[in-house]
């Protein structure tokens, strides 16, 4: 089911570019001082891969996705790091003009609740032309043709959709319009923020298969940001788990799901109710996700909810923020205990 990691065609041109995020830190100004929502993240998106970024509300996943466009809003500020995209350079040091061209140009972004990110006063077609104008597209006919092709590829009638206002489209259709607008200018990097939230299961399955197909056909490098491990399991080759502004675990999706290492990942997977087997196998995770103000300043951010820490408190969990240890097989885990027991 998972899309192939290898390039979709032999010539390198149609494979998505590689993306390397190093040491990314984003802080928000609050009455209590500047607090990091994303701190010291290292993540590499392999060319042509789909990476799933999983986290709960407040984990910093949306902030991180916005940082990919250098579009973090005030009072947030990218305080350090590099986001390097092949063929584009460091997103964070592009000039304002270059970054405007990159947004919606080579980096496509489908916003959280794409359902509500369309202008209710303009038809989809008008918004498409606006997009073309702001990116200096000369050939409007080709743009419309491209849009119609994308829409029909996703099972919609291009004519009808372009003539529609957003209220005339269902949630799943609006989500597809969002994907069309992100890709119509030939983006190579696609970021989808919660692409299936607020959709029912059948529409979700439909959108996920569209994402996989479009990803393969257009030769993209895709980042899917979601709170739902199920979504990641369906589409992503690799998964990165975020908690309290840090990446606590990353690795190939199948391996991480089969044998999660970090106690948080383990807890998340155990908390999913399943359709087969004993329903009581599912167990809730104790505690609640931290907010910007309650993220521990020192030591491991997860320790207050950690079953391993609860079973036997360790000093380094309280004092040292665990770095991402390489545990082999392309997997990284930020946990002292996992590293030590290895």
Which residues lie near another protein (CB under 8 A)? Answer: 1-2, 56-57, 155, 168, 170-172, 199-206, 208, 227-231, 233-234, 253-258, 267-269, 271-277, 279, 282-285, 288-289, 305
The answer to whether 322 touches 264, Cβ cutoff 8 Å, is: no
CB of 247 to another protein, least distance (A): 17
Token pair listed for 120: 């209710």
- In the bound state with another protein, the residue whose beta carbon lies nearer, of 87 and 279, is 279
Q: b/e per residue, 271-307, with b = 16+ CB within 10 A? A: eeeeeeeeeeeeeebeeebbebeebeeebbbbbbbbe
CB of 187 to another protein, least distance (A): 25
CB of 54 to another protein, least distance (A): 9
Angle between helices 171-183 and 124-134 (to 10 degrees): 20
CB of 116 to another protein, least distance (A): 15
- Centre a 10 Å sphere on the Cβ of residue 87 and count the other Cβ atoms it contains: 9
- In the bound state with another protein, the residue whose beta carbon lies nearer, of 85 and 208, is 208
The answer to whether 93 touches 80, Cβ cutoff 8 Å, is: no
The answer to whether 8 touches 15, Cβ cutoff 8 Å, is: yes
Assign 255 to helix, strand or coil.
helix
CB of 208 to another protein, least distance (A): 8
Angle between helices 201-218 and 171-183 (to 10 degrees): 10
């Amino acid at each position: 089911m998972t899309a192939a990691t290898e390039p979709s065609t032999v010539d390198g041109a149609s494979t998505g570019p590689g993306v390397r995020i190093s040491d990314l830190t984003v802080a928000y100004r609050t009455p209590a001082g500047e607090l990091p929502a994303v701190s010291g993240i290292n993540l590499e998106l392999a060319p042509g891969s789909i990476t799933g970024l999983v986290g709960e509300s407040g984990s910093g996943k949306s902030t991180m996705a916005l940082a990919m466009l250098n579009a973090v809003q005030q009072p947030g500020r990218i305080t350090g790091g590099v986001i390097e995209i092949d063929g584009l350079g460091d997103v964070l040091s592009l000039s304002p003009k270059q970054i405007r061209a990159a947004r919606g140009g080579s980096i496509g972004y489908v916003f959280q609740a794409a359902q509500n990110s369309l202008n209710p006063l303009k038809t989809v077609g008008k918004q498409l032309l606006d997009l073309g104008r702001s990116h200096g597209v000369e050939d409007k006919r080709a743009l419309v043709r491209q849009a119609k092709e994308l829409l029909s590829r996703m099972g919609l009638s291009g004519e009808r959709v372009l003539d529609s206002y957003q209220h005339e489209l269902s949630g799943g259709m609006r989500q597809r319009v969002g994907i069309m607008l992100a890709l119509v200018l030939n983006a190579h990097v696609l970021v989808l923020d919660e692409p299936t939230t607020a959709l029912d299961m059948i529409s979700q399955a439909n959108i996920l298969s569209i994402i996989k197909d479009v990803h393969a056909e257009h030769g993209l490098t895709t980042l899917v940001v979601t709170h739902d491990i199920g979504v990641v399991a369906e589409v992503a080759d690799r998964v990165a788990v975020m908690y309290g502004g840090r990446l606590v675990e990353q690795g190939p999706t199948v391996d991480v799901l089969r044998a999660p290492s970090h106690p948080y990942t383990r807890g998340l997977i155990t908390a999913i109710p399943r359709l087969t087997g004993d329903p009581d196998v599912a167990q809730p995770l104790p505690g609640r996700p931290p907010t910007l103000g309650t993220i521990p300043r020192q030591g491991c951010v997860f320790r207050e909810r950690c079953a391993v820490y609860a079973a036997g408190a360790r000093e380094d969990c309280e004092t040292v923020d665990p770095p991402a240890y390489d545990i082999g097989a392309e997997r990284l885990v930020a946990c002292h205990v996992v590293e030590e027991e290895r």
